[in-house]
Chains A and B, each alone.
Chain A
Amino acid sequence: MIEVRAQLKRQHFELDVDLHLDQRVTAIYGPSGAGKSTLLSIIAGIITPDHGRIVIGEECLFDRVEHINLPIHKRRIGLVFQDGRLFPHLTVEQNLSYALKYQTQQNHQVAFKEIVDLLEVSELLKQRPHQLSGGEKQRVALGRALLSAPRLLMLDEPLASLDERLKDQILPYLKKVADEINIPMIYVSHSSEEILQMTNHIVKVQSGKVKTSFLIE
């Protein structure tokens, strides 16, 4: 159960959302500039909203009134971005184990080998990020996020920088992760095709407002 209430007012932008997510995978859908990424940044702790409250499960991550505001590194939210954001000075293996290194809780729900096998990156371990293709980068990024043992995984347009052929190659991995690993997922995309393959619970965001939140039968 994830509860997100947030209001944010900037010069040319206003965000006002009130979400209760209880599905395993929720898609956040809307045109670019609608505030999808801002919403993710607020949940992750990168942007602090003016008002609101964010709760995942039992734990409150943010509450304006109660002055609770966990920093990014204590929120345990895995992030996968459009551009992968692998650390260029580390090998694939080091990128993956970086997620294990500084964890405070040693609850390695998902073991290193398990993830490497699931995402089929064992051949890439010794390589540097700049040697990888776009699709390989995204698989490593996904694996890294999973290894940090997050309680929520958020993917921000994870396929947007890939061509059609590669998208079709990565989607099965994403579905595998959604099916096999018991972590709630928020999947942000402006492509309805992509979303329909991932989930049937869709939140539509437009001009900073939640327009509709519905389940597709």
Chain B
Amino acid sequence: MFELLQFTPSELSILALSLKVAGFCVLLILVPAIIVAWILARKSFYGKSLLDGLVHLPLVLPPVVPGFLLLLLLGNQGLIGQYLHRVFGVSLAFTWAGAVVASAVMAFPLMVRSARLAISQVDRNLEVAAQSLGTNPMRVFFTITLPLAMPGVITGLILAFSRSLGEFGATITFVGNIEGETRTLPLAIYSYTQVPDGDLPAMRLVILSMALALGALMVSDKLERNAYKKIGYAHD
């Protein structure tokens, strides 16, 4: 029983890698997701349903599909990837940065959905009131819309973070399963289940995953409460 909690250094480094990938994933999508969410919530234009569909596609496709498409696009021989590799010396395929991109693609729709809902619930009359006080629309967004949408944005962040921690299909397809580079928690658990005597380390990683997920949910709940309190709603 005790050995279930005796994490080895390599298991802890798997945890660290997963957190690193998930953290950068959230940083990568934060701003673009809020922009797309705002466009979807507030603008009407020709082709909006197409944009909406494209954003949501990773949510409904088997994760292997986006992973494969990423490989075709951003792989070292890929359409954009070969250019990145040649000109900037950047290689995404089979690196941890690629794992960030793969999980970002998968987490993006969750972040957008959450932020979009929150933005569309912000009373537009308040934005008009702010503009009538001489504030330009951009500033109104940062001083009124975004603060009032903050609870939803935070929920989206936690959802995206958790999605990234759990990302498997797109990651293994695009960046493989390389120890110390792209082998995040789910990939490591899967790998251990494939080898003899892997059950115990797999079990330990399962415990880590569960603790992490539970922690993320609790932090999210706390942050959301604070955010609601901040915008003047009592929330329970």
- Listed in ascending order, the chain A residues whose CB lies under 8 Å from chain B are 44, 46, 71-79, 81, 83, 85, 87-89, 98-99, 101-104, 128-130, 144-145, 148
Q: How far is the CB of B231 from chain A (nearest CB, A)?
A: 4
State which of B38-46, B67-75, B135-143 sits at the interface with chain A.
Answer: B135-143
Query: What 10 A-B pairs are tightest by C-beta distance, nearest first?
Result: A88-B232, A89-B231, A72-B131, A85-B129, A148-B133, A102-B135, A79-B132, A73-B131, A99-B133, A128-B232
Q: Choose one: A71, A83, A89, A129; the contact of B131 (CB below 8 Å).
A: A71
For the complex, give the distance between the alpha carbons of A73 and B144 in Å: 14
20 residue pairs A–B, Cβ–Cβ below 8 Å: A46-B128, A71-B136, A71-B137, A73-B133, A73-B134, A78-B132, A79-B132, A85-B129, A87-B129, A88-B232, A89-B147, A89-B230, A89-B231, A98-B130, A102-B134, A102-B139, A103-B134, A129-B232, A130-B233, A148-B134
Are A87 and B131 neighbours in the complex by a CB distance under 8 Å?
Answer: no
Q: How far is the CB of B152 from chain A (nearest CB, A)?
A: 14
Residues of A within 8 A of B135 (CB): 73, 98, 101-102
Contact of B126 with A by CB under 8 A:
yes
Residues of B within 8 A of A72 (CB): 128, 131-132
Residues of A within 8 A of B133 (CB): 73, 78, 98-99, 102, 144-145, 148
Known: A71-B136, A87-B144. 6 other contacts (CB 8 A): A72-B128, A87-B130, A88-B231, A89-B147, A99-B134, A129-B232
Residues of A within 8 A of B233 (CB): 88, 130
Residues of B within 8 A of A44 (CB): 128, 132
Interface residues of B in 108-161 (CB under 8 A from A): 123, 125-126, 128-137, 139-140, 143-144, 147-148
Residues of B within 8 A of A79 (CB): 128-129, 132
With A103-B134, A104-B134: A87-B126 Cβ-Cβ less than 8 Å: yes
Are A81 and B129 neighbours in the complex by a CB distance under 8 Å?
Answer: yes
Are B126 and A85 neighbours in the complex by a CB distance under 8 Å?
Answer: yes
Are A98 and B143 neighbours in the complex by a CB distance under 8 Å?
Answer: yes
Q: How far is the CB of A207 from chain B (nearest CB, A)?
A: 25
For the complex, give the distance between the alpha carbons of A74 and B135 in Å: 8
Residues of B within 8 A of A81 (CB): 125, 129
Q: How far is the CB of A138 from chain B (nearest CB, A)?
A: 13
Interface residues of B in 55-89 (CB under 8 A from A): none
With A85-B125, A87-B144: A77-B132 Cβ-Cβ less than 8 Å: yes
For the complex, give the distance between the alpha carbons of A182 and B78 in Å: 68
| A72, A78, A103, A128 — most chain B CB neighbours (10 Å) | A72
For the complex, give the distance between the alpha carbons of A101 and B49 in Å: 38
| B133, B135, B143, B232 — most chain A CB neighbours (10 Å) | B133
Residues of B within 8 A of A103 (CB): 134
Residues of A within 8 A of B134 (CB): 73-74, 76, 99, 102-104, 148
Residues of A within 8 A of B136 (CB): 71, 73, 102
Residue on B nearest A129 in the bound complex, by CB: B232
Residue on B nearest A73 in the bound complex, by CB: B131
Residues of A within 8 A of B144 (CB): 87
For the complex, give the distance between the alpha carbons of A44 and B231 in Å: 27
For the complex, give the distance between the alpha carbons of A99 and B131 in Å: 10
Residue on A nearest B125 in the bound complex, by CB: A85
For the complex, give the distance between the alpha carbons of A110 and B130 in Å: 19
Are B232 and A89 neighbours in the complex by a CB distance under 8 Å?
Answer: yes
Q: How far is the CB of B130 from chain A (nearest CB, A)?
A: 7
For the complex, give the distance between the alpha carbons of A103 and B130 in Å: 11
Residue on B nearest A131 in the bound complex, by CB: B232
Are A73 and B231 neighbours in the complex by a CB distance under 8 Å?
Answer: no
For the complex, give the distance between the alpha carbons of A104 and B130 in Å: 14
Residues of A within 8 A of B231 (CB): 88-89
For the complex, give the distance between the alpha carbons of A130 and B130 in Å: 18
Q: How far is the CB of B117 from chain A (nearest CB, A)?
A: 18
Q: How far is the CB of B226 from chain A (nearest CB, A)?
A: 12
Residue on B nearest A144 in the bound complex, by CB: B133
Q: How far is the CB of A59 from chain B (nearest CB, A)?
A: 15
| A71, A73, A145 — most chain B CB neighbours (10 Å) | A73
